[in-house]
Chains A and B, each alone.
Chain A
């Protein structure tokens, strides 16, 4: 490695912005409840998201009990089975993953990593959380209205979502749509904050191309979300009107359980286009932050700079752009004009290129790295495995011809759980373990965490791998029971039993995580400011956990990219971003090029 540092010249702009003024709350309520501190908001977001995620986890166990042991549990009938299917999907995708990655990690990490005191609009940021909480409460309320939650499937396809014969068409679907609208309003408040903070509030020297990939991933995901969620918002409003006022946006002339309806002329496929125009970017809204975070985990714990940083950034941007032109690959057999299949199959396979590139770069980062199998690293490597698996099955489904026999089967369920459920969840766990010492100041119990990793990692494979087999066997999804279907072999039921047992084990395994988090919060060892020896700014704060305002008297000045690990001649095997070139103790007798000599700090500041 001839090149030692990424930038040859420290690019430190003049101090253009006034120091941000923060409102320091004086009451307990202001500090911890109605807080405007992004870190507190992040924790509120995360705890709420995880809490509702646990509900979704329980719902998935209910589904698995029914599928593994049909006709055994009298409390599961087709009606509440479909409700469980629907709410599990919607909660996991929107209320857990989106909220946790953007509202949770976005809030905590963006200001710290770009060297800002806080989000640029702290008050709006606070509102964002409370509106999100309202959305969650509306969602939870839908379980308790007459008729229960909606059972339309998480895609809420009309006309079925608002027609008799589907559970929850009275209150459930209305509250579901309302909750989504509220969620989007709240998210937009947060999302604008993240984007503006990244673009406007970076500290001096933090050029865009010096930002950690975590920030890039969250930033691009937020941009996607800001562009994609409005499509969902309008379609939710339109469906609400169809349901409550009898408009016909999505409702054609049709019969409903023997009664004629007054609908006329609407298009059910219009909903699908709008939904997936949101829904496909949504996959990347969840995936891009995961990509970013895992890049940082891999580099930090392999003590090596990320391979192809610029390529990684451009790949994130390319994926973000392409994600808006692939949506109809969810609709190959939807009855839309089948000629669309040619276009969308092509774009879908094109998006595999930047995605594969990222995978190669992670693997090449690991190659000959000084790999430390810390808990976050285990999860990161687990993610890479899982993501490759899920990505490969995506090639099957993206290729329109192969999709025809496989769509609406368990192959699809296996695929998307691998790629957008297990993969991001592994990253979430990895990230929580990685930043836990910074957030709490204490170290978690490593042994318990490793148990948690292996149960989750191996367990999810035991759950989702066999589903691919079920899909090839033609087992359709969203079926309450299979009865005696001639073409399904007896092994289908055996496999379902095994999957259910694995699912229960994995679900119980998560108790280890919660126990570990709770116990370590009170009894964990003091972690110190930078236990992993990481370069990014959040590890260089004056206090651990960082206080309101994040940094001390002065904001840090950034002299280098985020990946100076294992630089030859350096004093340590990592050089934090805010260490001036002179202090990095690069030995002067090396044969380095004189141009690398950093000269002086153009801002005229001494840094200690």
Chain B
């Protein structure tokens, strides 16, 4: 019984020479991937270089890294019938890369690179699960491997940005954005202050990376496609004016120039209970609700409470986040399910209302004095 097992283990440990190397990177609570690019070699990385501007921790001085393909997404594509060696790296705590159908799993350990290899034998979509406890969001740390024919894989890989391209992406041009924003302003307001009557949320003060992701989701039919998401459908139609990368960059650059005015609260609830619930939310969104780009969680504090309530309800009902490619929304869907009823939603939003609003710390101080 032991001997055959050890022979198979020998196969498990020894990677075929023709295996393609791909790096899978784990973090709380997402996956990202890196391909070695045309030179077939990975550039060096260092945990100490990790930042919002350099989420892969790339060493800018290493020429081998310039052509590395960086896939900043939970979804990765692999070619069928080709052996793959996955190099596993963690940015923070222990994780574990598991695809149940591949029958392989291995932990990701910060400070070292572990590996596993496999050959996908059929095409399809396979879920990636983290199977090493990594904190509150452990059960929502999902990803997806799409196994496709080789040519589909090649064309997908060619679309992905290299490190070089990402570094050289020009900043958005607010002036060009101002032109584009004219369409948006009718609902979201001239200063991005939001308009409840138009069901348009505040944009001023929201983080650029998050708005970018949502615009892409609207454009690609990932958000605003659910039949019950009336307002989302509206927005999806409007996004047709922002098709190109540059247009999105420009309009976001313009929105970033808006003053971040405090919002009035319209929702009341049990703040104490909300605070209790927020023990979970804060892990991603920040204990002040300020949003954490590294965890891909947007800002909540200082945003409009009626919009937060609606989105939480949408997540709870699967109106938002149920699209198969919306991995981040899917995560929020699972997390929103802990809000057992409408009252819980109101309570947690009422607590978010008490959090300091960006750019207006006086208000926050006043609030804390009142308490």
Residue positions of A touching B, CB distance < 8 A: 70-74, 77-79, 82, 151-153, 157, 159-160, 163-167, 252-258, 260, 264-269, 333-335, 338-339, 341-342, 345-346, 349, 395, 399-402, 404-405, 407-409, 474, 476-483, 485-487
Please pick, from A82, A160, A483, the residue contacting B94 in the complex, using a CB distance under 8 A.
A160
Closest to B111 in A: A252
Please, which residues of chain B bring their CB within 8 A of the CB of A346?
A: 2, 6
Given A408-B96, A483-B333, residue A78 in contact with residue B108 (CB < 8 A):
no
Please, which residues of chain A bring their CB within 8 A of the CB of B9?
A: 338, 341-342, 345, 400-401
Report B300 CB to chain A, min CB distance, Å. 15
A513 to B84, CA, bound (A): 56
Evaluate contact between A157 and B337: CB separation under 8 angstroms: no
Please, which residues of chain B bring their CB within 8 A of the CB of A167?
A: 136, 279
Evaluate contact between B138 and A479: CB separation under 8 angstroms: yes
Report A469 CB to chain B, min CB distance, Å. 14
Evaluate contact between A345 and B2: CB separation under 8 angstroms: yes
Given A165-B283, A335-B106, residue A157 in contact with residue B1 (CB < 8 A):
no
Evaluate contact between B13 and A339: CB separation under 8 angstroms: yes
A-B contact count (CB 8 A): 199
Which among B48-56, B71-79, B148-156 touches the partner chain? B48-56
Report A411 CB to chain B, min CB distance, Å. 12
Please, which residues of chain A bring their CB within 8 A of the CB of B295?
A: 257-258
Evaluate contact between A254 and B111: CB separation under 8 angstroms: yes
B353 within 8 A of A: no
Evaluate contact between A338 and B12: CB separation under 8 angstroms: yes
Closest to B49 in A: A260
B267 within 8 A of A: no
Please pick, from B91, B125, B334, the residue contacting A254 in the complex, using a CB distance under 8 A.
B91
A56 to B131, CA, bound (A): 24
Please, which residues of chain A bring their CB within 8 A of the CB of B69?
A: none
Given contacts A74-B338, A77-B279, A401-B12, 20 further A-B pairs with CB under 8 A are A71-B337, A71-B338, A78-B138, A82-B133, A151-B136, A163-B135, A165-B134, A165-B137, A253-B110, A254-B92, A256-B92, A258-B293, A268-B94, A269-B109, A338-B9, A399-B5, A400-B9, A404-B103, A481-B334, A481-B337
Please pick, from A253, A333, A401, A402, the residue contacting B111 in the complex, using a CB distance under 8 A.
A253
Please pick, from B125, B133, B344, the residue contacting A157 in the complex, using a CB distance under 8 A.
B133
Report A182 CB to chain B, min CB distance, Å. 25
Evaluate contact between A395 and B1: CB separation under 8 angstroms: yes
Evaluate contact between B134 and A160: CB separation under 8 angstroms: yes
A159 to B280, CA, bound (A): 19
Evaluate contact between B280 and A77: CB separation under 8 angstroms: yes
A477 to B28, CA, bound (A): 18
B112 within 8 A of A: yes
Given A166-B135, A257-B28, residue A77 in contact with residue B110 (CB < 8 A):
no
Please, which residues of chain A bring their CB within 8 A of the CB of B344?
A: 74
A474 to B101, CA, bound (A): 9
B277 within 8 A of A: yes
Evaluate contact between A404 and B12: CB separation under 8 angstroms: yes
Please, which residues of chain A bring their CB within 8 A of the CB of B47?
A: 252-255
Please, which residues of chain A bring their CB within 8 A of the CB of B131?
A: 407-409, 476-477
Question: Residues 311-345 of chain B: 1 if any A CB is under 8 Å from the residue's CB, otherwise 0?
Answer: 00000000000000000001001110110110010
A357 to B10, CA, bound (A): 30
Report A339 CB to chain B, min CB distance, Å. 6
Evaluate contact between B91 and A78: CB separation under 8 angstroms: no
Please pick, from A165, A339, A474, the residue contacting B93 in the complex, using a CB distance under 8 A.
A165
Please, which residues of chain B bring their CB within 8 A of the CB of A151?
A: 136
Given A82-B133, A258-B292, A266-B111, residue A404 in contact with residue B104 (CB < 8 A):
yes
Question: Residues 35-62 of chain B: 1 if any A CB is under 8 Å from the residue's CB, otherwise 0?
Answer: 0000000000011101110000000000
Please, which residues of chain B bring their CB within 8 A of the CB of A152?
A: 133
Evaluate contact between A487 and B48: CB separation under 8 angstroms: no
A470 to B261, CA, bound (A): 52
B309 within 8 A of A: no
Evaluate contact between A255 and B27: CB separation under 8 angstroms: yes
A405 to B289, CA, bound (A): 38
> Could you write out 20 A-B pairs with CB less than 8 Å apart?
A71-B338, A73-B340, A77-B279, A78-B136, A78-B137, A78-B138, A78-B139, A157-B94, A166-B93, A252-B47, A252-B110, A252-B111, A255-B50, A257-B295, A260-B48, A399-B2, A401-B6, A401-B8, A478-B138, A487-B101
Evaluate contact between A254 and B138: CB separation under 8 angstroms: no
Report B96 CB to chain A, min CB distance, Å. 6
A200 to B214, CA, bound (A): 75
A341 to B12, CA, bound (A): 10
B107 within 8 A of A: yes
Pick from B100, B106, B125 the residue with the most CB of A within 10 Å. Answer: B100
B294 within 8 A of A: yes
Please, which residues of chain B bring their CB within 8 A of the CB of A70?
A: 337
B335-369 contacts to A (CB < 8 Å): 335, 337-338, 340-341, 344
A355 to B293, CA, bound (A): 53
Question: Residues 127-171 of chain B: 1 if any A CB is under 8 Å from the residue's CB, otherwise 0?
Answer: 101011111111110100000000000000000000000000000
Evaluate contact between A333 and B109: CB separation under 8 angstroms: no
Evaluate contact between B139 and A345: CB separation under 8 angstroms: no
Evaluate contact between A159 and B133: CB separation under 8 angstroms: no
B157-198 contacts to A (CB < 8 Å): none
Report whether over half of chain A's contact residues are helix, strand or loop; otherwise say mixed: loop
Please pick, from B48, B136, B140, B277, the residue contacting A253 in the complex, using a CB distance under 8 A.
B48
Pick from A152, A255, A256 the residue with the most CB of B within 10 Å. Answer: A255
Evaluate contact between B92 and A483: CB separation under 8 angstroms: no
Report B283 CB to chain A, min CB distance, Å. 5
Please, which residues of chain B bring their CB within 8 A of the CB of A482?
A: 139
Closest to A479 in B: B139
A255 to B45, CA, bound (A): 13
Evaluate contact between B280 and A79: CB separation under 8 angstroms: yes
B199 within 8 A of A: no
Closest to B322 in A: A484
Evaluate contact between A334 and B103: CB separation under 8 angstroms: no
Evaluate contact between A345 and B136: CB separation under 8 angstroms: no
Given A78-B280, A253-B47, residue A159 in contact with residue B93 (CB < 8 A):
yes
A255 to B104, CA, bound (A): 27
Please pick, from A255, A257, A405, the residue contacting B105 in the complex, using a CB distance under 8 A.
A405
Report B119 CB to chain A, min CB distance, Å. 15
Question: Residues 270-314 of chain B: 1 if any A CB is under 8 Å from the residue's CB, otherwise 0?
Answer: 000000010110011000000011110000000000000000000
Closest to A402 in B: B5
B98 within 8 A of A: yes
A78 to B340, CA, bound (A): 13
Evaluate contact between B134 and A334: CB separation under 8 angstroms: no
Please, which residues of chain A bring their CB within 8 A of the CB of B280?
A: 77-79
Evaluate contact between B51 and A260: CB separation under 8 angstroms: yes
Evaluate contact between A476 and B109: CB separation under 8 angstroms: no
Evaluate contact between A342 and B92: CB separation under 8 angstroms: no
Closest to A349 in B: B2
Evaluate contact between A268 and B1: CB separation under 8 angstroms: no
Please, which residues of chain A bring their CB within 8 A of the CB of B10?
A: 342
Closest to B107 in A: A335
Report A123 CB to chain B, min CB distance, Å. 42
B244 within 8 A of A: no
Evaluate contact between B279 and A79: CB separation under 8 angstroms: yes
Please, which residues of chain B bring their CB within 8 A of the CB of A341?
A: 9, 13
Closest to A334 in B: B107
Report B195 CB to chain A, min CB distance, Å. 31
B114 within 8 A of A: yes
A482 to B333, CA, bound (A): 12
Please, which residues of chain A bring their CB within 8 A of the CB of B129?
A: 476, 485
Please, which residues of chain B bring their CB within 8 A of the CB of A401?
A: 5-6, 8-9, 12
Closest to B291 in A: A258
Report B6 CB to chain A, min CB distance, Å. 6
Please pick, from B13, B111, B126, the residue contacting A338 in the complex, using a CB distance under 8 A.
B13
Please, which residues of chain A bring their CB within 8 A of the CB of B100?
A: 405, 474, 487
Please, which residues of chain B bring their CB within 8 A of the CB of A476?
A: 98, 129, 131
A70 to B336, CA, bound (A): 12
Please, which residues of chain B bring their CB within 8 A of the CB of A264?
A: 48
